[in-house]
Amino acid sequence: MLSKPIFKQTLKANIKLWLIFTIIMTALHIILIAVFDASTISDMSGMVKDTPLANLLGEATFLGMLSKTFYGIQGVLLPIVFIIMTANSLIASQVDRGSMAYLLSTPTKRSTVVLTQAVYLITSLIVMILIITLAGYTSIHLFQGDVDINMTNYFMLNLGLFLLMFATSSISFFFSCVFNLTKNSLAWGAGIPMAFFLLKLMGDVDSSLEKLKYISMNALFDTHAILNGGNYTIQFVSLAVIGIVLYSLGIRVFKNKDLPL
């Protein structure tokens, strides 16, 4: 069961942070769409040819550029930071500060509290990605109306981004449920997602380090397969399963663990 009062309170407490990240990500997405020019990307590709930066530019196509920039760096890193901050504040930070003790002193069950917090985090990501997708869709028609763009691939990129963030948020939420201290929650809940991001980025930048990215869960968001007709169903399902399993485990751990109440 969910608690509407707890959900509203959580929404009120986190709305400013959510708005900041959503606005920044949406603005970056719109700017990248607006400034895209195939000839410019080709010129840049020539300038950085035979350097590690060449791998970051991707193909000289609209979606190829977005897949290496927004869907490879900004659109992944920014929501990871949002997830880390929010997931910790939802459970571990409240236990650490003692506010969780006050909340659980009411007739509200632990299961209701932790489930409501999980639903808030997932919902915040869904709405965030939806806003970015709609803004991007509108911007494509405004700024790139004369460019042939496979919109199905564009929507699949956004779906893949959400599934990656869903799985990433489950990691941070799980450790927020496991630990009673913020420092421990952040050490694991921030350390693992950031390590995954950096390993994937290093593998993309330097071909000699390519194997590193396959250690990262982020490699399951295979933008190359999406844009080139590859099979990415298994990867998408894997991200969804990771998210469901870790959210479920986190909820179970919090319900059964000893709390300093």
pLDDT at 145 over 90: no
**Are the beta carbons of 43 and 49 closer than 8 angstroms?**
no
Structure confidence by residue, pLDDT tens digits, 106-132 = 888 999 999 999 999 999 999 999 999
Instruction: Pick from 18-32, 44-58, 133-147, 205-219 the range whose average pLDDT is largest.
Output: 18-32
**Local confidence band at 46 (pLDDT 50, 70, 90 cut-offs):** low
pLDDT at 185 over 80: yes
The gap from C-alpha 62 to its chain's centroid, in whole angstroms, comes to 22
Q: What is the pTM of this model?
A: 0.92
**Are the beta carbons of 229 and 154 closer than 8 angstroms?**
no
- Region 190-201: mean pLDDT is 96
Buried b or exposed e, range 138-164, using 16+ CB within 10 angstroms: ebbeeeeeeeebeeebbebbbbbbbbb
- Region 29-47: mean pLDDT is 75
Which residue from 11, 164, 246 is spatially nearest to 254, judged by alpha carbons? 246
Structure confidence by residue, pLDDT tens digits, 63-86 = 988 998 999 999 999 999 999 999
Query: What is the torsional sign of CA 25, 79, 224, 130?
Result: negative
